[in-house]
Structure 1
């Protein structure tokens, strides 16, 4: 069957996460349900001294040392995504390619490090690369430079929904005819003393430092907060006919998306999940589907008492007859902030291609809000995933839902 003119397909995936560099490593880690949380010496002075860090950060290609940690993640993940899509930047029309990158904090790792130098040794100690490393737009700018892209280059910021918002934006650019290919995703490296202290002050972080591996426990009745993580997810998106014309094999179709605002509170979600429910129904409407068609939900699932209760409430209300299989990757990867939406979108696509829903690490017992949800545990679940949703929620009341279908 020939793709419809406005079909948006996923043709490539790239991941750099605490589970490892590369989509296979991350998928294996998530399916194994083994937490990556560890004591973190860099947070020795922070109120909470554990995190989920990317191991063995690549540094050999080109001059990656020049960039903020978050940009290094992005350049590495984007190259993997292009390779899996069978795309070579030397062979495409650079004016017909877009780059869209989501981030919650830009180059915060660089900013903190350089501020410490300023206080300790004065202005002369600062790196001349400081501004180009930490400005929020520069991850997209550096990726466009790296790939030689001359089409639209944009950065999105909707807190922890940023990566998902970037994918929505890329979809809109493709449908508008502004590009033929979009390299879209999210990246953040917020495992820093300032970020750890600020989140701890809010009461958002788990305090289970005595047992880091079981600290992040999405939807579990004993959850007490998230573990700070970092990473990057990148998807290559193309219109279906463009992918077919070059002989690419789509991994999945981005069949719909929904974006809403709670207009409720700076950090707390709407208590009944009204914005998330509306975004879900919008995504399903675009996909030409209903709640009973959903096989799997990759939940935001932060492991905080409030988020998980609200998200569970919304899921229960949306699927009264046929509960979908629910999972959250944050029990393994921690909360990767602005990268989370893109990483979890990639995992949702992998669930479709592998016909497998990974387990939710550290989920042992439901509370009143999660009773009745089909939260996947144990070794994961193998079954066809024809329609799957990825949830992303962010401070400021941002809700983004992506709907993916099998091709």
Structure 2
């Protein structure tokens, strides 16, 4: 495939820092975790999460549409509308057949499905909504957004666990490069702040158990880290070929220069201790972008705050870079939105390049002595940023790395 320069022309975000790109950026710059006790998780061993505050889907989408779709789709649609507007597009005027929708999601609908399960378990199967399937299946994230925006090109959802958003962006980039579309609406969305995901991740030992201090729970690369915090949110990017963006004189936020995906083939949940899959993904993404290690000024780490993941990722970064460039971990503030995380972090990486600023990692009080990284903490750091990586790592040993350049 001939190399084609891909531009990021629009961003949309819905996160625990708020609705909209600016709200998320401001929240990250504060360097304070947004985790808090969650009444929907009452009675569980881990009863806190990072929820999107004051999200009113009826006010934003209308009563009929918001009733029909699950929360993960609602958030994705709000973010997609923002991104398309930010890119200067009017869906009523574009050639929808040339617009693709490629989105990531890990688990489908977790919100209203719980209510339907309760009805089934109580013997009231006839009271289950006929929308229970279309609200829950992952593909409807792309289906509903394609319909809303009249995007008639390829429409799909990738599901590579916590790497889903990053995988989706990489596939969207390849569709543009192949000529299969002219515009790609891409990213990811997820809502897992519900009892079943909380119980399941808790039983795995993946969640922080700092119930006495939710805001201090997620602490990537800290010696006292003990797990991640459940989150939710959506991140959407609008991608176009750079030549097309320039032809319509639209501002370019960043360039998506490279992408790679690899598999650890090591364990169904634990990462390769030496991070060899991540090493290969980073090196391949750099080669794809025609960048060297010396060109990378920043890494937006997967940084979940689990013992194994943080150490494995740090070892991978050191193996590739020797002395890695400054690192930040957005999950420390926003929590872990699973299939939406990689997309949100990709959008934040674009914002870092745009603002030439690195948001701090929250709660890093004592760097793990086994981790040799320059982690940005306490306050934002301003510095020259030419290119940056966004890492995503998922269960099943699935890795996705995106390389972005300043335009």
TM-score, scaled to structure 2? 0.97
Q: In the TM superposition, what are the counterparts of 1:178-189 in structure 2 within 5 Å?
A: 178-189=180-191
1:45–1:193: 8 Å Cα contact kept in structure 2?
Answer: no
Q: In the TM superposition, what are the counterparts of 1:201-216 in structure 2 within 5 Å?
A: 201-216=203-218
1:5–1:240: 8 Å Cα contact kept in structure 2?
Answer: no
Partner of 1:71: 73
Partner of 1:311: 313
2:3–2:177: 8 Å Cα contact kept in structure 1?
Answer: no
Partner of 2:103: 101
Distance 1:267 1:5, change over 3 A: closer
Q: Secondary structure at the match of 2:188?
A: strand
Deviation, structure 1 residue 319: 1.5
Partner of 2:267: 265
Distance 1:169 1:5, change over 3 A: closer
CA distance in 2: counterparts of 1:289 and 1:139, whole angstroms: 34
Which of the numbers 200, 203, 219 marks the counterpart of 2:202?
200
Partner of 1:8: 6
Deviation, structure 1 residue 110: 2.6
Moved more, 135-144 or 106-115: 106-115
Count of aligned residue pairs for this structure pair: 402
2:390–2:403: 8 Å Cα contact kept in structure 1?
Answer: yes
CA distance in 2: counterparts of 1:319 and 1:369, whole angstroms: 16
Deviation, structure 1 residue 40: 0.6
Q: Secondary structure at the match of 1:109?
A: coil
1:36-66 residue CA offsets vs partner (Å, 9 max, x unmatched): 1000110013221000001111321232122
Q: Are 1:241 and 2:239 an aligned pair?
A: no
Q: Are 1:217 and 2:219 an aligned pair?
A: yes
Deviation, structure 1 residue 99: 0.3
Q: Secondary structure at the match of 2:342?
A: helix
2:91–2:149: 8 Å Cα contact kept in structure 1?
Answer: yes
1:48–1:209: 8 Å Cα contact kept in structure 2?
Answer: yes
1:268-326 residue CA offsets vs partner (Å, 9 max, x unmatched): 111100000100001100111111211000000000001001011111121114x3110
CA distance in 2: counterparts of 1:386 and 1:114, whole angstroms: 49
Moved more, 260-269 or 60-69: 60-69
Q: In the TM superposition, what are the counterparts of 1:317-332 in structure 2 within 5 Å?
A: 317-321=319-323, 323-332=324-333
Moved more, 60-69 or 7-16: 60-69
Partner of 2:338: 337
Q: Secondary structure at the match of 1:161?
A: helix
Partner of 1:353: 354
Q: Secondary structure at the match of 2:270?
A: coil
CA distance in 2: counterparts of 1:197 and 1:5, whole angstroms: 45
Structure 1, unpaired ranges of 5+:
none
CA distance in 1: counterparts of 2:196 and 2:3, whole angstroms: 47
CA distance in 2: counterparts of 1:369 and 1:298, whole angstroms: 19
TM-score, scaled to structure 1? 0.97
1:317-376 residue CA offsets vs partner (Å, 9 max, x unmatched): 21114x311000111101110000000000000000000001110011111321x31100
CA distance in 2: counterparts of 1:390 and 1:185, whole angstroms: 13
Partner of 2:127: 125
Q: Secondary structure at the match of 1:15?
A: strand
Deviation, structure 1 residue 5: 7.0
Structure 2, unpaired ranges of 5+:
none
Q: Secondary structure at the match of 1:389?
A: strand
Deviation, structure 1 residue 184: 0.2
Partner of 2:384: 384
Instruction: Give the aligned CA root-mean-square deviation in angstroms.
Output: 1.1
Partner of 1:153: 155
CA distance in 2: counterparts of 1:58 and 1:341, whole angstroms: 24
Q: Secondary structure at the match of 2:224?
A: coil
CA distance in 2: counterparts of 1:33 and 1:397, whole angstroms: 29
Which of the numbers 17, 20, 23 marks the counterpart of 1:19?
17
CA distance in 1: counterparts of 2:4 and 2:98, whole angstroms: 16
Partner of 1:369: 370
CA distance in 2: counterparts of 1:18 and 1:74, whole angstroms: 14
1:187-212 residue CA offsets vs partner (Å, 9 max, x unmatched): 01111101000001000000101011
Q: Are 1:44 and 2:45 an aligned pair?
A: no
